[in-house]
């Protein structure tokens, strides 16, 4: 941690470089950056807002001069993993949200070059405004999350891992040098955004989950807009059937029936996602706010067949390919699951008919369910939404804040465990049951999603909700997450990303891998100013 005098000297220098309005350092100015849904806190020295590559280069030089650590964030929406908090106390947060230029969008080769402040919705709006035949690999988070920020922690979207689709990174290293990865460092390279690796050692892999530098721009892969799109919603009525569902999905994926990420969620995940949307519709239709109406929303999901587990899959292709996929999915899961297929025309027609018959209670409720499912359908079509944020408040019992834009400023607590699991039904069921048991011992219920990323592995997304006002519950939540992560490690399922309080679960002083990572750190950031402690030996 920097001394008080060195921090003040750095702040004075940063003000000269960035301007007074781009440097926050008073307690009341930076207090919101010390709040987090994980219930932790850190001391923050300052918050810096660069607006250009040159500004980043200069603030890194100042940080080196005065030995003040920096903690870069893109938009700071890392909810459940630490939000905007540094791993260690005393860092100055580098908020890159003002670096929000869309530098290039190429429809022919389906990519975009963007700065770290560019959000999902900003790029989607650009695509729509210019009528480009493109799709974005959206995530299930909110629309105002950063594309680069999510890729830097290897987030997973509805079509692929974000880390697979980022290249040609412009990076200001901790030692002050600026590099371009891939072919980007060759003047006038025409293929710098077309071929990820360049020539020689591929340095791109150093920066996701690394703390060697600050990424100031990158190429993000897009997808050509398909001829047609469909979503399959598959529901089972007994958790014992989960291995059948997983193995069927693996077979379908391995045969290319679908090529996107299949999201498979348990009852708790489905309910915290859909119930708040139903609840709001019930209140809008005249039902009194409160527990009775919330219970009614849950009953509607039970009546709709959202049982122990449900899967959502986006399927892209021609009409003939979708017809074949529908047939193959029915054949694969028909004997043990119920499947609903959604398309734009089906949803539009169903809504048009239902809206004319809303005087019939059953039809009115069916229309509400359809509207609640629409955001999930939108994810599978490459559309971003803010509706998913309601799940954080609903799960924590913070029902009065369902429309608040930032859960860091609420009483809702949420933390995640994110193991990578084998794509094997029996193994998944064993892990799920162990997760339920571990959470129950600590007094919590696990919301679980297992996302089939390819025919080999699944991303586990396990969330824990708690009330941050309850100190005892918050402490127990931390203990539960730590035990759960330890259990996953013991079973041979390390997480693919961890929160700011869990670096010790994945980083080891004795492991040659981490020793090598530290040596790279010493070469690229000899003064250790970039995000000390983040996925690295301190």
Number of Cβ within 10 Å of residue 374's Cβ equals: 16
Residues 217 and 233 in one domain: no
Residue 379 · residue 140 · CB < 8 Å: yes
Helix (H) / strand (E) containing 217: strand 213-221
Cβ neighbors of 300 (< 8 A, separation 6 or more) are: 278, 365, 368, 369
The whole-angstrom separation of Cα 70 and Cα 90 is 9
User: Exposed, middle or buried, 36 (CB in 10 Å: 0-12/13-18/19+)?
Assistant: buried
- Whether 473 is covered by a domain: the verdict is yes
Residues 350 and 423 in one domain: no
pLDDT given for residue 346 in this prediction: 87
pLDDT given for residue 364 in this prediction: 84
CATH of the domain at 454: 3.40.462.10
- Whether 352 is covered by a domain: the verdict is yes
DSSP symbol at 358: T
pLDDT given for residue 216 in this prediction: 98
pLDDT given for residue 532 in this prediction: 95
- Whether 127 is covered by a domain: the verdict is yes
Residue 281 · residue 272 · CB < 8 Å: no
Residues 370 and 250 in one domain: yes
pLDDT given for residue 3 in this prediction: 83
The whole-angstrom separation of Cα 82 and Cα 88 is 11
Mapping DSSP to helix (H, G, I), strand (E, B) and coil, where does residue 180 land?
strand
pLDDT given for residue 354 in this prediction: 77
Residues 243 and 384 in one domain: yes
Residues 135 and 262 in one domain: no
Structural domain for 489, as ranges: 410-499
250-270 per-position pLDDT tens digit:
999 999 999 999 999 999 999
Cβ neighbors of 204 (< 8 A, separation 6 or more) are: 166, 167, 169, 181, 182, 196, 197
The whole-angstrom separation of Cα 304 and Cα 128 is 34
User: Exposed, middle or buried, 201 (CB in 10 Å: 0-12/13-18/19+)?
Assistant: exposed
Give start and end residues of each alpha helix (H) in 397-494: 425-441, 471-490
First-to-last alpha carbon distance for the chain, in angstroms, is 12
Residues 429 and 477 in one domain: yes
Residues 478 and 395 in one domain: no
DSSP symbol at 455: S
The whole-angstrom separation of Cα 77 and Cα 212 is 21
Cβ neighbors of 380 (< 8 A, separation 6 or more) are: 158, 229, 231, 260, 312, 313, 314, 315
Residues 335 and 426 in one domain: no
Per the structure, how many domains does the chain have?
A: 4
The whole-angstrom separation of Cα 34 and Cα 55 is 24
The whole-angstrom separation of Cα 182 and Cα 169 is 8
Which of these three, 192, 224, 256, is where a domain ends? 224
Number of Cβ within 10 Å of residue 130's Cβ equals: 10
Q: Which of 203, 221, 217, 57 is nearest to 134 (CA)?
A: 221
- Whether 531 is covered by a domain: the verdict is no
pLDDT given for residue 245 in this prediction: 98
CATH of the domain at 176: 3.30.465.10
Number of Cβ within 10 Å of residue 523's Cβ equals: 12
Residues 295 and 356 in one domain: yes
Which of these three, 224, 244, 278, is where a domain ends? 224
Mapping DSSP to helix (H, G, I), strand (E, B) and coil, where does residue 418 land?
coil
- Whether 339 is covered by a domain: the verdict is yes
Residues 456 and 325 in one domain: no
Residue 34 · residue 495 · CB < 8 Å: no
- Whether 526 is covered by a domain: the verdict is no
Residues of the chain with pLDDT under 50: none
Residues 382 and 277 in one domain: yes
- Whether 90 is covered by a domain: the verdict is yes
CA dihedral of residues 58, 64, 69, 74 (deg, nearest 10)? 30
Q: What angle do CA 534, 535, 538 make, to 5 degrees?
A: 65
Cα separations in angstroms, 177 against 196, 220, 317, 406, 526: 21, 23, 44, 35, 12
pLDDT given for residue 342 in this prediction: 94
- Whether 532 is covered by a domain: the verdict is no
Residues 417 and 390 in one domain: no
Cβ neighbors of 406 (< 8 A, separation 6 or more) are: none
Residue 66 · residue 10 · CB < 8 Å: yes
CATH of the domain at 67: 3.30.43.10
Which of these three, 175, 203, 224, is where a domain ends? 224
**For the chain, what's the residue count?**
538
């Amino acid at each position: 941690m920097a001394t008080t005098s060195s921090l003040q000297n750095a702040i004075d220098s940063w003000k000269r470089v960035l301007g007074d309005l781009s440097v926050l350092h008073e307690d009341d100015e930076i207090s919101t950056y010390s709040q987090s849904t994980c219930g932790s806190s850190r001391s923050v020295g300052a918050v810096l807002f660069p607006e250009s590559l040159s500004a980043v280069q200069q603030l890194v030089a100042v940080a080196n001069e005065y030995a003040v650590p920096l903690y870069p964030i893109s938009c700071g929406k890392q909810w459940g993993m630490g939000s905007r908090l540094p791993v260690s106390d005393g860092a100055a947060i580098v908020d890159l949200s003002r670096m929000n230029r869309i530098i290039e969008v190429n429809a022919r080769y389906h990519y975009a070059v963007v700065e770290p402040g560019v959000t999902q919705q900003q790029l989607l709006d650009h695509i729509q405004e210019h009528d480009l035949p493109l799709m974005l690999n959206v995530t299930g988070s909110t629309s105002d999350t950063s594309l680069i920020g999510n890729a830097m922690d290897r987030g997973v979207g509805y079509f692929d891992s974000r880390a697979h689709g980022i290249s040609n990174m412009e990076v200001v290293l901790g030692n002050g040098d600026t590099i371009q990865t891939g072919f980007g460092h060759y003047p006038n390279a025409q293929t710098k955004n077309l071929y990820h690796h360049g020539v020689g050692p591929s340095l791109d892999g150093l920066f996701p989950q690394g703390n060697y530098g600050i990424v100031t721009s990158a190429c993000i892969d897009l997808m050509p807009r398909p001829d047609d799109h469909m979503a399959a919603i598959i529901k089972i009525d007994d958790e014992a059937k989960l291995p059948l569902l997983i193995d069927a999905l693996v077979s379908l994926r391995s045969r290319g029936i679908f090529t996107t990420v299949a999201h498979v969620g348990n009852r708790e995940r489905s309910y915290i996602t859909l119930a708040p949307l139903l609840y709001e519709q019930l209140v809008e239709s005249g039902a009194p706010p409160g527990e009775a109406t919330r219970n009614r929303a849950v009953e509607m999901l039970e009546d709709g067949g959202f049982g122990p587990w449900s899967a959502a899959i986006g399927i892209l292709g021609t009409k003939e390919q979708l017809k074949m996929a529908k047939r193959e999915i029915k054949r694969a899961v028909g004997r043990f699951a119920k499947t609903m297929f959604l398309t734009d025309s089906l949803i539009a027609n169903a809504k048009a008919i239902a809206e004319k018959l809303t005087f019939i209670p059953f039809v009115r409720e069916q229309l509400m369910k359809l509207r609640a499912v629409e955001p999930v359908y939108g994810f599978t079509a490459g559309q971003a939404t803010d509706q998913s944020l309601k799940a954080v408040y609903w799960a924590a019992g913070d029902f009065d804040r369902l429309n608040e834009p930032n859960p860091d400023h609420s009483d809702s607590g949420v933390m995640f465990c994110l193991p990578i699991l084998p794509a094997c039904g029996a193994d998944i069921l064993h892990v799920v049951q162990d997760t339920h048991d571990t959470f129950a011992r600590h007094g919590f219920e696990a919301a679980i999603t297992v996302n089939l990323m390819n025919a080999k592995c699944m991303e586990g997304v396990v969330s824990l909700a708690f009330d941050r006002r309850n100190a005892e519950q918050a402490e127990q939540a931390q203990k539960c997450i730590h035990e759960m992560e330890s259990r996953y490690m013991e079973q041979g399922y390390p997480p693919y990303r961890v929160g700011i309080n869990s670096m010790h679960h994945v980083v080891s002083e004795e492991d040659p891998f981490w020793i090598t990572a530290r040596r790279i750190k010493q070469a690229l950031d000899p003064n250790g100013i970039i995000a000390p402690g983040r996925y690295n030996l301190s």
